[in-house]
Amino acid sequence: MTRKPYILIVDDEEDIRLTLEAVLRTEGYRVTTAAFGNDALEMIKKDPPDLMLLDIMMPDIDGYEVCRQVKGNDDTKNIVVVFATALRKTKDKVEGLDIGADDYITKPFNMPELLAKLRVHFRIKDYQNKLESLVDFAHNANALDLNDIAAAIRRDFEEFITADRYSVFVVDDENECFRLLAHNHEEGGMDRHELPFDQSPIMNEARLGKGKVIETRFSSSPFSSDVKRRKYNDDFALCLPLKMGSKILGALNLNGNSKGFFDRLDFSLVALIAEILSASLNNVHQLEKLKKLATTDGLTELLNHRSFHERLHSEFERAKRFGQALSCVMLDIDYFKKFNDTHGHPTGDTILKEIAVRLKRHLRKIDTVARYGGEEFAMLLPQTGAHDAQIVTERIRLDIASRPFETDKGPLNVTVSMGICDSDMMGFQTGSALLAKSDQALYMAKEGGRNQTAICNPEAAS
């Protein structure tokens, strides 16, 4: 709880009220008192306490009735009620507990016992509040976008976590690194932070071992590095893998235990938060897989035919808007049908996959490459005229022709033909028209003997 707990003392004996008030204020609690049950109920309406120390025997209404009204009201039912009375019979205690009281302590008070009980009740109440808030966090974190998950973490995380510092990383298997999702570190350099797997020993241990890693003397552990960071209030570190089944999706790191954090309940809460984050990251992961299946070719993992046309439209419009050239390249594997007929379709599939690998090797991040269909591939080279594009296509052609393809039928020689057209050549109005002329140039390359690149001839426009 961020604010000081608020206690209401209800007792008709002034000496008891004053003594309890003095002791509890010394312990840091906010305290008010009431001598009568009806006065207490009015005070509760205006300012509900977190906990009420309630006498049973009082002049107007007894403590049992006060408890019934408090626990029977939705607005006040979560107030902790502790009966503080001289009644010692078991039946009196049972009656009080049956109507909703949370605890019972007898007069004269044993102050250390009373204070210990109050600490327990406030700790439990704190966890109840956190669990209620955790429902909202789970709802907010149950997003299909990493930015939304990061926003939920930054907004709500410190309400649940009492460690000095936290960070949440996601696993990027393709680039073999951890990418920072959210954190509360003061160092601005943490933003958009990426760490290769081997540069974060504690996260990598959690990733490979697929279990939590706890260090109470982190600075002298094998996971510590020489990188100077903010000094924590202690040497505690915890890393929890975020996973779904055996798939590791990320890691939750907690550093510093200065606030008395990590008893059994705290750890259970952290483990629950890790489960929520794991489920959220898995949802994002599954959505990305679905998007990839919808937009890519299953064999080569390049863009598929439909996605290429969407990219062609957007790149063509961008080129027009900024007055830049856009080259479109069509590629066809020479005599590919013979490979399938002679060696079988699995061998043909091997060739298609290796073509995709070699194409990507020669293209920039801003370029687009797709499997257009069958043995045809298509490429878009933004900010590139046809003659500059030909330099790229010649590198591709020579790479393919000069090195045999390793297949289950042994090494096989492969060649390709390519056709190029750029958007500046003929005043194209659509990307589809540009693509058609690139295909026409490909036909010229094949008619000219294959294993070559041809640039569209504007004068041959039909």
Instruction: Give me the mean pLDDT over the 49-58 stretch.
Output: 92
**Extents of the domains making up the chain:** 6-133, 143-292, 305-460
Please state, in angstroms and rounded to a whole number, the distance separating the CA atoms of residues 67 and 41: 10
Higher model confidence: residue 402 or residue 235? 402
**pLDDT over threshold 90, residue 268:** no
- Report helix, strand and coil shares of the chain as percent, to nearest 5: 45, 20, 30
pLDDT of 262 > 70? The answer is: no
Burial class (CB in 10 A: 0-12, 13-18, 19+), 377: buried
Q: Are 55 and 12 in contact (CB under 8 A)?
A: yes
- Show the DSSP H helices in 200-304 as ranges: 201-209, 264-295
**Confidence (pLDDT) at 41:** 95
Burial of 326-362, coded b for 16+ CB within 10 Å and e otherwise, reads bbbbbbbbbebeebeeebeeebbebbbebbbebbeeb
Backbone angles phi, psi at 281, to 5 degrees: -65, -35
For residues 264-289, average pLDDT: 87
Range 361-388 average pLDDT: 96
- Say how far apart CA 364 and CA 381 lie, in whole Å: 8
pLDDT of residue 85: 78
DSSP H or E segment with residue 164: none
Task: Quote the pLDDT of residue 283.
Answer: 92
Domain 143-292 has CATH 3.40.630.10: no
For residue 48, what pLDDT is reported? 94
What is the radius of gyration, based on Cα positions, of the chain? 35
User: What is the C-alpha to C-alpha distance for residues 311 and 305, in angstroms, rounded to an integer?
Assistant: 10
pLDDT band at 278 (very low <50, low <70, confident <90, very high): very high
Count of CB atoms within 10 A of residue 428's CB?
A: 21
Question: What is the dihedral angle through the alpha carbons of 138, 140, 143, 149, rounded to the nearest 10 degrees?
Answer: -90
pTM of the predicted protein model = 0.63
> Quick one: pLDDT at residue 252?
95
| Topology, domain 305-460 | Alpha-Beta Plaits (3.30.70)
Neighbours of 44 (CB within 10 A): 21
Helix (H) or strand (E) holding 33: strand 30-34
User: So what's the pLDDT on residue 461?
Assistant: 45
**Mean local confidence (pLDDT), 219-230:** 68
Q: What is the mean pLDDT of residues 70-95?
A: 84
**Residue 225 pLDDT:** 67
In CATH, which superfamily holds the domain spanning 6-133?
Response regulator (3.40.50.2300)
pLDDT at position 188, please? 58
Mutual orientation of helices 386-402 and 345-361 as an angle, nearest 10°?
A: 130
- 162, 177 in Cβ contact below 8 A? no
CB 142 within 8 A of CB 151: no
Model pLDDT, residue 2 = 53
Q: How far is CA 70 from CA 13, 34, 82, in A?
A: 22, 15, 12
Q: How many helices (H) and strands (E) does the chain have?
A: 13, 18
Alpha carbon 298 to chain centroid, angstroms: 27
User: Can you list the positions of beta strands (E) in 118-234?
Assistant: 165-172, 177-183, 194-196, 213-215
Q: DSSP secondary structure string, 106-138?
A: ESSP-HHHHHHHHHHHHHHHHHHHHHHHHHHHH
Q: C-alpha dihedral over 268, 272, 274, 280, to 10 degrees?
A: 180
